[in-house]
Amino acid sequence: MATVAEPMLAHKHEPEENYLTCSSGFLSWAMTLDHKRIGVMYLFAVTASMLLGGVFALLVRIELLTPDKTLMDHNTYNHMFTLHGAVMVFLFIIPSIPAALGNFILPVMLGAKDVAFPRLNLASFYLWVAGAIFFLMAIAMGSLDTGWTFYTPYSSSVISGSQAGGIVAAVFGAFILGFSSIFTGLNFIVTVHTLRPPGMTWFRMPLFLWALYATSVIQLLATPVLGITLLLLILERTLGIGVFDPALGGDPVLFQHFFWFYSHPAVYIMILPAMGIISELIATFSRRHIFGYRFIAYSSIAIALLGFLVWGHHMFTSGQSPLATVIFSALTFTVSIPSAIKVFNWLATMYKGSISLATPMLYAQSFIFLFTIGGLTGLFLGTLAVDIHLHDTYFVVAHFHYVMMGGTLIAFLGGMYYWWPKITGKMYNELWGAIGCLMVFVGFNLTFFPQFMLGSQGMPRRYYTYLPHFQGYHVISTIGALVLGTGIGVALATLLWSLWTGRKAPANPWGGVTLEWTCSSPPPLANFEKTPTVGDPYDMEQVKWDAKTESWIPRPVSERTGNSASH
C-alpha cells in the first residue's frame, strides 16, 4: 500500500512548521483561509457560547430550587430560559460539531488540503460572529422572553419599545446564523464531492464524513425555510403585515409548521455529527473494524431524509387536524429504527475488541448510555395517546436534553478530547479527563432523570413557580446541575491546562487509521505533503503500538494478516 511510507517519513522528520506556527499576529488569524485555524476560532467561539448558555441554565435551575421566588422575578426568569435555549441551540449545538470540529477534521480526514471554498468558509465564520452580536444585543436590551421557539402571536404582538427591539434583534441574529449554517453545509457538500483523493470512494469514507455530509444536506435544504419564516416574523412585527397574528388576519399555527419544518431537521443537524464521532471513537478505542459500515452510512442518510417528514410531532396538541397528527405519528416512529440500528452496530463493534478506556471512549460509552435513554423516551412522545398527557411537560424537557446534551454535547466533548492532540499537539491528563467525564455523567443523570417523573406527574415546561409537591425532584435536579456544571468546568480546564503542561502529542496517539492520524500533530499548513492514497478507513491492522515512542506507528505490510478487515 502506497500510504505506508509517508507517515513513516512524517515520524522521522517532523515538519519544522505546523499550521499554528507558520505565521503569527492577529491578522494571520482574522484573515486566515486555513480550515484548521477557522475550525479553532469556531471551537473557541462555540465553547464560549456553551459556557454562556450554561450560566443561564444554572440560573434557571437555581431559581427552580423553591416553588416561589428564589433569586429573580417572573420576567427575569422568562428571559433566562429563553436565552438559555436560544444561545444553546443557535450559537452552540447547531454549529458545535460541524462548524468547529468538522471544519478542522473534515478536510484532513478526507485527505484534502482545505475545504472547496476557503473564502466562503471564513465568511461563514464572520456571519456566525455577526449573528452572535445580534444575540448579545438582544441580551443587552434584556427583553427577549418568547422562548427560543419565537411562537406567534406572542412574539409578533408588539408589547413595548425595548421588548419589540429585543425580539427583532434576536430573530435577525438567528436569520444571519442560518446563512452561516447554509454556507458551511454547501462548502462541505462540494468538498466531499470534489476533493476526495484517489482511492477515497464513497464507501471508503470514514463514517464521521458520512454524518457530516448528511448533516450538510439538511443544513442546505432546511435552513432557508427558517430564514424565510424569521423574515416574515420581522415583517409582521415591524410593518404589521398579517401572516401569523390572528389579529391581523394571520394564522399562528402556520408559524409552528414553518418553524418546525426547519427546527425538527435541525435536531438531526445536532445529532447526526455526534453519531459520526461516536462511530469513530468506538472503532478506534476497540481496535475493531466498525460493524455494519454500510448500515451506519445508509442510516445517516435515512435519518436525514426522514427527518424532514416528522415536524408535525411537535404539534400534536396544537390544533392541527387529527389526520395529519396520525400521519406524523407514523412517520415519527420510522425515524426511531435507523437510530436503533446505529446503537446496535456500535455495541457489535465492541464485541471481541481490545477496548481502551481513554477519556474519549469514556465519553463514547456515556453517549451510548444517555442516547439510549433519550431515544427510547422518544417512543412515549411518538405514541399519540401518551403524548397528549406528556406534551409540553418536563418529560419533554428531559427527553430532548438526553438527546441534545446527553448526545450532542457528550459527543462534542468526546470529539474534543479525541482530536485535541491533533489540534493542539498536546496530550491532556488522562486522570483528570476521566474525572471530568464521570462528573458530567453523574451530574447529567441527576439533573435530567428526575425531570421524567416531574413531567409525567404533570409539571409543565417554562414555569417560574410550581405547585409545592413538585419540589423534591426539582431540588435533586438543581443539585445535579451544579455537579454537571462543575464537571464541564473540569473537562474544559483539563484540556486548557494541557496547553502548558501536556507532553507533546505523537502523530497517532490513539491508533486511529483515518487519514488525520497520518499527518503530524499539529498538522502542517497544507495537511499533506503529497496527496495521500487511501485504504479501508477501519482496517486497524494498518498501525501497531510502539512502546518506545508511546504512539501508534504504521505496520509494515509484511506483518499484516488481513484478518481485521475481512468482509
Partner 1 sequence: MLPIQTALPLCEMLAGDVFFPQQASTIAPGVDKLFYFIFWVCVFFFVLVVGFMTAFLLKYRRKENFDASGPTHNTLLEATWSVLPFFIVCYMFYEGVIGYMDLRSAPESAYEIKVRAKKWAWEFTYPNGYSTNELHVPPNSPVSLLMQSDDVLHSLFIPAFRVKMDVVPGRYTKLWFDATVPGKYDLECTEYCGEKHSEMLAIVTVHNDRSEFDAWLAKASDVFGPVDRGEKTLAQVGSELALRKGCGQCHSIDPQKSKKTGPAWWGIFGEDHQFVDGTSAKVDENYIRESVLKPTAKVVKGYGGNMPSFAGQLKDREIDALIEYIKTLK
Residue ranges in 338-367 that form contacts with partner 1 under rule CB under 8 A: 340-341, 343-345, 347-348, 350-357, 365
| Residue 357 or 557 having the CB closest to partner 1 | 357
Cα–Cα distance for residue pair 274/113, rounded to 1 Å: 24
The minimum distance between CB 147 and partner 1, in angstroms, equals 5
Per rule CB under 8 A, is residue 393 in the interface with partner 1? Answer: yes
| Residue 237 or 289 having the CB closest to partner 1 | 289
Cα–Cα distance for residue pair 512/465, rounded to 1 Å: 50
Per rule CB under 8 A, is residue 25 in the interface with partner 1? Answer: no
Q: What angle do CA 289, 295, 296 make, to 5 degrees?
A: 70
Per rule CB under 8 A, is residue 246 in the interface with partner 1? Answer: yes
Binding partner 1 (rule: CB under 8 A), the pick from 12, 13, 294, 548 is 294
Cα–Cα distance for residue pair 283/483, rounded to 1 Å: 30
Cα–Cα distance for residue pair 446/515, rounded to 1 Å: 39
DSSP assignment string, 89-134: IIIIIHHIIIIIIIHHHHHHHHT-SS-S-HHHHHHHHHHHHHHHHH
Are 427 and 421 in contact by the 8 Å Cβ rule? The answer is: yes
Per rule CB under 8 A, is residue 286 in the interface with partner 1? Answer: yes
Residue 309 DSSP code: G
The minimum distance between CB 292 and partner 1, in angstroms, equals 5
Site for partner 1 in 211-240 (CB under 8 A): none
Binding partner 1 (rule: CB under 8 A), the pick from 236, 280, 387, 516 is 387
Binding partner 1 (rule: CB under 8 A), the pick from 117, 126, 308, 369 is 369
Binding partner 1 (rule: CB under 8 A), the pick from 197, 292, 489, 535 is 292
| Stretch near partner 1 under the rule CB under 8 A, chosen from 49-57, 205-213, 246-254, 419-427 | 246-254
For residue 277, the Cα-to-chain-centroid distance in whole angstroms is 10
Per rule CB under 8 A, is residue 291 in the interface with partner 1? Answer: yes
Cα–Cα distance for residue pair 186/120, rounded to 1 Å: 9
| Residue 21 or 162 having the CB closest to partner 1 | 162
Per rule CB under 8 A, is residue 372 in the interface with partner 1? Answer: yes
Per rule CB under 8 A, is residue 438 in the interface with partner 1? Answer: no
Q: For residue 547, which phi and psi values (nearest 5 degrees)?
A: -65, -30
| Stretch near partner 1 under the rule CB under 8 A, chosen from 10-18, 208-216, 372-380, 421-429 | 372-380
| Stretch near partner 1 under the rule CB under 8 A, chosen from 170-178, 224-232, 379-387, 433-441 | 379-387
Per rule CB under 8 A, is residue 301 in the interface with partner 1? Answer: no
Cα–Cα distance for residue pair 29/40, rounded to 1 Å: 10
| Residue 98 or 378 having the CB closest to partner 1 | 378
Per rule CB under 8 A, is residue 380 in the interface with partner 1? Answer: yes
Per rule CB under 8 A, is residue 437 in the interface with partner 1? Answer: no
Site for partner 1 in 86-145 (CB under 8 A): 145
Binding partner 1 (rule: CB under 8 A), the pick from 15, 51, 137, 383 is 383
| Residue 125 or 470 having the CB closest to partner 1 | 470
The minimum distance between CB 80 and partner 1, in angstroms, equals 13
Site for partner 1 in 518-547 (CB under 8 A): 538, 540-541, 544-545
Are 543 and 514 in contact by the 8 Å Cβ rule? The answer is: no
Please identify which residue in the block is written with the cell numbers 469514507: 205
CA 551 to each of CA 12, 83, 349, 380: distance values in angstroms, whole numbers, following the listed order: 13, 44, 23, 46
The minimum distance between CB 226 and partner 1, in angstroms, equals 20
| Residue 8 or 357 having the CB closest to partner 1 | 357
Per rule CB under 8 A, is residue 204 in the interface with partner 1? Answer: no
Bridge partners (DSSP) listed for residue 545: 552
From residue 455 to residue 494, the character string flagging contacts with partner 1 as x (rule: CB under 8 A) and all else as - is -xxx-xxxxxxxxxxxxxx-x-------------------
The count of residues interacting with partner 1 (CB under 8 A) is 106
Cα–Cα distance for residue pair 291/21, rounded to 1 Å: 39
Cα–Cα distance for residue pair 455/451, rounded to 1 Å: 6
The minimum distance between CB 530 and partner 1, in angstroms, equals 28
Binding partner 1 (rule: CB under 8 A), the pick from 72, 136, 186, 453 is 453
The minimum distance between CB 290 and partner 1, in angstroms, equals 7
Nearest to 283 by CA among 200, 356, 190, 225: 356
Cα–Cα distance for residue pair 158/238, rounded to 1 Å: 9
Alpha helix positions (H), 13-73: 26-30, 35-63
Cα–Cα distance for residue pair 187/121, rounded to 1 Å: 7
Cα–Cα distance for residue pair 140/316, rounded to 1 Å: 35
Are 91 and 53 in contact by the 8 Å Cβ rule? The answer is: yes
